[in-house]
Amino acid sequence: MLLAFGVRLLLYRLLFLICIILRSVGQGNAGITSTFIRSEWPSVDIPLDNEIFSIPKVHNAPQQVHITQGDYDGKAIIISWVTIDEPGNSKVQYGTSKQKYDFTADGTVKNYTFSTYKSGYIHHCLVDGLEYNTKYYYKVGVGDSSREFWFQTPPNIDPDASYTFGIIGDLGQTYNSLSTLEHYMQSGGQTVLYVGDLSYADRYEYNKIGIRWDAWGRFIERSTAYQPWIWSAGNHEIEYMPNVGEVLPFKSYLHRFATPNRASHSTSPLWYAVRRASAHIVVLSSYSPFVKYTLQWSWLQEELKRVDRRKTPWLIILLHVPIYSSNSVHYMEVSHLEYTLQCVKR
């Protein structure tokens, strides 16, 4: 028996030695987790005059419409949109029948500047008190410029609730982006879990960054106006550019995309949690402090105590930088967070 063990140990050592030799001469695949090779990298950005970025023709019509979960348990929605010419109003009309709106909700409006760019009027409106498993129709805008959409609320919080999430990250606005979005829309997904790097607008000249954000908002509207996208931020949302006076990280992102952080007692819209169907979803920020005793770390300790696997057996953590990855671009960027999560006691 000891002899057999010794033989196996010798074979393991020989195999390890062979791998080292192959790697040293470039014949091995150590560290490669997939054989997939992109046919084209990087993909080409779609020109701004392409019809997928088209602007509504009616004066001051709402555009860039998107929705996200508005509370902790899925009975509220935040509806966001932009009007370019003037503020209009931030009212949402909604109901359970098409073109018949029994309820209204009032929102807020704001705008911002980035370098020489000035944004349109960005509206956010919380619609709460909704029923589970119900289709709602809603209208935003004023008079002839108004536009109508719909969404479906999730099932109630239940361990057996069936629900389909899509996961998208690093979408951008290339021809590959369009292919990805169309593929998702045909998949039957009910809610997107977005893992950061949205528009890639930061790759453009300073005065064009906001223009590309607007284009991206119109690009994704075909999905985001009809189902929630749960947002998290990546490095391309930081946009720290002190040479043009822009020193507030995540400025465009925080103005354009609302999150229900207060519903989970978070002090920042960059990290928060929601429950949806049978899942408890925790959103973290890779580029905010997360070591021990920071605000994000302290919040996470408390939020994980609220996880009840009897009600939500699926615990999903959204984070832009992968903790375990062979991607050299983000290598060991979140090693501190990896340690923090591994040390969390449940």
DSSP letters along 79-106, please? EEEEESSS----EEEEESBTTB--EEEE
Distance, in Å, from the CA atom of 231 to the CA atom of 165, rounded to the nearest integer, reads: 13
Q: How many CA atoms lie within 13 A of 238 on its CB side?
A: 11
Can you identify the CATH homologous superfamily of domain 51-268? Purple acid phosphatase-like, N-terminal (2.60.40.380)
Main-chain dihedrals φ then ψ at residue 210, nearest 5 degrees: -65, -35
Q: How do the domains of the chain map onto residue ranges? A: 51-268
The single-letter DSSP state of residue 125 is: E
Question: With contact defined as beta carbons under 8 Å apart, do 258 and 230 qualify?
Answer: no
Instruction: Tokens for 218, please give them.
Output: 């119109």
- pLDDT of 132: 99
For residue 333, the model assigns a pLDDT of 75
b/e per residue 104-121 (b: at least 16 CB within 10 A): ebebebeeeebbebebbb
Q: Which of 280, 320, 330, 336 is catalytic?
A: 330
pLDDT score at 10 = 54
Which residues of the chain, if any, have pLDDT below 70? 1-42, 343-346
- Tokens representing residue 210 in the block: 């906001």
CA–CA separation, 156 vs 73, rounded Å?
8
Asked if residue 275 lies in contact with residue 312, where contact means CB atoms within 8 angstroms, the answer is yes
Torsion on CA atoms 83, 88, 92, 93, rounded to nearest 10: -120
Our answer to whether residue 124 is catalytic in this structure is no
Tally of CA atoms within 13 A in the half-sphere of 120 that contains its CB: 26
Instruction: Using alpha carbons, list the distances in angstroms from residue 10 to 7, 13, 14, 19, 226.
Output: 5, 5, 6, 14, 60
